Amino acid sequence: MSSADGTGEQLAFIRETVRRAKPRAARGVVLAERLPVARVLVDKGVLSLDQYFDYAVPEAMSEEAQPGVRVRVRFGGRVGAHGRREGGALHDGFVVERREDSDYPGPLAPLARVLSPERVLTPKLLRLCRAVADRYAGTLADVLQLAVPPRHAGAEAEPSPRPLPPPSAPAPGSWERYAYGPEFLASLAGGHAPRAVWTALPGPEWPAEVARAVAATLAGGRGALVVLPDGRAVARVDAALRGLLGEGRHAVLAADAGPQERYRRWLSVSRGSVRAAVGTRAAVFAPVRDLGLVVVWSDGDSSHSDPNAPYPHVREVALLRAAEEGTAVLIGGVSMTVEAAQLLRSGWARPLAAPRETVRQVAPRVRTVLETDQARDEAARAARLPSVAWETAREALTRGPVLVQVPRRGYVPRLVCGRCREAARCRACGGPLESPGADAAPVCAWCGAQEQDWHCVECGSFRLRAAVVGVRRTAEELGKAFPRVPVRTSGRDAVLATVPGTPALVLATPGAEPVAEGPGYAAALLLDGWALLNRPDLRAGEEAVRRWLTAASLVRPAGEGGTVVVVAEAGARAVQALVRWDPAGHAGVELDEREELRFPPVSRMASVTGPARGVADLLGLLRLPAGADVLGPVPVFGGAGGSSAGSGSGAGGAREEGVERALVRVAPGQGAALAAALKAAQIARLALRGAETVRIRVDPTDIG
């Protein structure tokens, strides 16, 4: 950009002259004869330092200091009188480029050490990480911490096996149940890049269907990547791939393998020894060679949203990667998110779904019942079950296991005054009280303090009662109602992968439902539907449908006696979507409402959370594109910085003192400008005001 007096051209000439100047190194350092400058990404993770820095390459390191390798560099300090860099700490970094010249006119500090000659940061991975950092207003160093696992020298020393030849294209198998399913596989095998939103049928076949999509891609001579929400789903797809392709064609990238083993597997992918990778959240960055397909299963699961800065979502990273590498995309699940519905509406992807006749054949029967329905049987009243639910469970237990989904973990996760129903709160921090067991004293859910002599500050009563009943208390009550039936629980403390196909009550929190061996569960009871539907969150209905369909898909088809009873208001939109087994229709209606309200994904939005002064300072420095809206700031409830920050959730959560949240909204197409403006304002705020922590989340999944 030039000015009228030619100053711009002069500055550009000066910069070009400096750039072409021969690099200088600190005294006593012999520069490499060829490409003596290494451009390094220093692993600092500081917004103001989100750039590359030039270092001199000593001749002794020239052979190993190639683009993509890990190095140690001295960062900070000052240049002394003799041209040596004094002070400064050693930091890890990555060489991103070797060059002949440098933009820096002074003497360059030399590389301190080449940690490994392994080129772990490929050009494609670097471009992807840069795109993710820009989209989420973060730093490249932070994204690389998510994308590249820590180094283990022992794993690098091991030779990787030679890659196997491509397999034969698989038969369509159960993909024939879907309209255009066989055509989708044929397109993958032919080397094309179809993009689809897949509404999977209920039942146990989806891991095998994912495996066939991967096999078709490998048959076409390209690589494949599958990202799943948890280790149990990874294990199911891993077993399906081994059964279809045998050993040695894919790598499992999951945290439970341990750091060294996971790095060894990651290296086998990076080196091209295997052409397919399956794993959880971080696997979306796996450097698969010649990537041809990215599969994201259950993209609405909260596990796909990274809790570490800059908080990227797997689905969005996959879409960025598909755009960068020209790959096929398969966004799948038994439910459908609003974001997936928007991909269909925009024409970016095509639907991959079964005809309604097929859905009716494989789906269980769904019945609705209100929690307030009076149970006719004494045992049903003792178990807090409406009579329809209790009778369904009693009959189904003669044929197999019964799944009971309870939205709350623990024993009694929320307590209220037995007289006035005011929320029971901790005297130390104001957090909500919960009961850990039948004979245990109440404890605070926030600070863990026990309340031995609680009394209500409103009415003075000393009596407590349950506002919400958790999975362990429900298991206790159902055990009394069905005394001769085994009761198993699956939740955060102990998640079961599978249960036998014999009669039993299996109680699980959402997302922890185990798979029943054999034909599946004879019935499922979805309790306390209000706890999901009444959440003060934009995604409450969408999340309820996803959790219910996930549980119901484990139940046998209606033709085999499979029944699902949902305890919720029958007229609620989410309940009707479950009854009709129509996740796509529900997502479409939700998308229509988002368009009217200008909420994501129709618009782009970011949340700014932190101390009131810090939020105010950042908003004051923010230079937004035309038409942008700032909503708030408002007090944060339920704990600052948590997933519920600012949502008002937590059943009467207390205000976090001095912590506020603001939402910033821009029109479609302005997301990049929003992220850039937020990043610039954060840098300016830190430079002017100091280090008060203000958290920025672009496209947050939890908007209250």
pLDDT of residue 13: 41
Q: Residue 673 and residue 671: Cα distance in Å, rounded?
A: 5
- Taking the CB of residue 153, how many other CB atoms lie within 10 A of it? 11
pLDDT of residue 99: 93
pLDDT of residue 81: 46
Looking up tokens 């209790």 gives 390
pLDDT at 656 over 60: no
pLDDT at 207 over 70: yes
DSSP 99-159: ES--S--SEEPBP-EEEES---S-HHHHHHHHHHHHHTT--HHHHHHHHSPPP-HHHHHSP
pLDDT at 24 over 60: yes
pLDDT of residue 32: 86
8 vs 29, which has greater pLDDT?
29
280 vs 87, which has greater pLDDT?
280
Give the model's confidence band at 103: pLDDT under 50 very low, under 70 low, under 90 confident, else very high: confident
Least confident of 142-146, 285-289, 304-308, 635-639: 635-639
pLDDT of residue 424: 74
pLDDT of residue 369: 87
Q: Residue 252 and residue 250: Cα distance in Å, rounded?
A: 7
pLDDT at 15 over 70: no
pLDDT of residue 696: 93
Q: What is the mean pLDDT of residues 296-324?
A: 95
Binding residues for Zn(2+): 417, 420, 426, 429, 444, 447, 456, 459
Question: What integer best gives the mean pLDDT of the chain?
Answer: 85
Could you read off the pLDDT of 217-235 as tens digits, one per residue? 999 999 999 999 999 999 9
Instruction: Specify the pTM.
Output: 0.85
Contacts of 451 (CB under 8 A, 6+ apart): 424, 426, 427, 433, 441, 442, 443, 444
329 vs 632, which has greater pLDDT?
329
- Nearest one of 632, 107, 580, 602 to 343, comparing CA atoms: 602
Could you read off the pLDDT of 600-615 as tens digits, one per residue? 899 999 999 999 888 9
- What is the SS3 assignment for 191? coil
410 vs 512, which has greater pLDDT?
512
Q: What superfamily would CATH give domain 173-358?
A: P-loop containing nucleotide triphosphate hydrolases (3.40.50.300)
pLDDT of residue 432: 76
Q: What is the mean pLDDT of residues 461-481?
A: 66
- What is the SS3 assignment for 679? helix
Q: What is the mean pLDDT of residues 244-269?
A: 92
Could you read off the pLDDT of 381-400 as tens digits, one per residue? 555 678 888 889 999 999 99
* Amino acid found at 287: P
- What is the SS3 assignment for 213? helix
Q: Residue 348 and residue 694: Cα distance in Å, rounded?
A: 35
Q: What is the mean pLDDT of residues 667-689?
A: 88
Is residue 365 within a helix (H) or strand (E), and if so which, with residue range? strand 365-369
pLDDT of residue 651: 36
Binding residues: 417, 420, 426, 429, 444, 447, 456, 459
Buried b (16+ CB within 10 A) or exposed e, 454-465: bebeeeeeeebe
pLDDT at 577 over 80: yes
Contacts of 662 (CB under 8 A, 6+ apart): 607, 608, 615, 619, 630, 631, 632, 633, 634
pLDDT of residue 242: 96
pLDDT of residue 559: 95
* Terminal C-alpha separation, the chain: 43
Q: What is the mean pLDDT of residues 359-363?
A: 96
Give the model's confidence band at 104: pLDDT under 50 very low, under 70 low, under 90 confident, else very high: confident
Question: Do 470 and 404 touch, CB atoms closer than 8 A?
Answer: no
pLDDT of residue 339: 96
The CATH code of domain 603-698 reads 3.30.70
Could you read off the pLDDT of 49-69 as tens digits, one per residue? 788 999 999 999 999 999 999
pLDDT at 270 over 60: yes
pLDDT at 136 over 90: yes
Could you read off the pLDDT of 321-346 as tens digits, one per residue? 999 999 999 999 999 999 999 999 99
Least confident of 131-140, 236-245, 527-536, 572-581: 527-536
556 vs 692, which has greater pLDDT?
556
414 vs 305, which has greater pLDDT?
305
Distances (CA, A) of 106 to 19, 78, 79, 94: 11, 11, 9, 22
Give the model's confidence band at 106: pLDDT under 50 very low, under 70 low, under 90 confident, else very high: confident
pLDDT of residue 468: 54
pLDDT at 653 over 50: no
CATH top-level class of 364-591: alpha beta
Give domain limits for the chain: 7-119, 173-358, 364-591, 603-698
Q: What is the mean pLDDT of residues 525-537?
A: 81
Q: Residue 545 and residue 560: Cα distance in Å, rounded?
A: 23
pLDDT of residue 21: 56
Give the model's confidence band at 377: pLDDT under 50 very low, under 70 low, under 90 confident, else very high: low
357: exposed, middle or buried (C-beta count within 10 Å: 0-12, 13-18, 19+)?
exposed
Q: What is the mean pLDDT of residues 412-417?
A: 62
pLDDT at 537 over 90: no
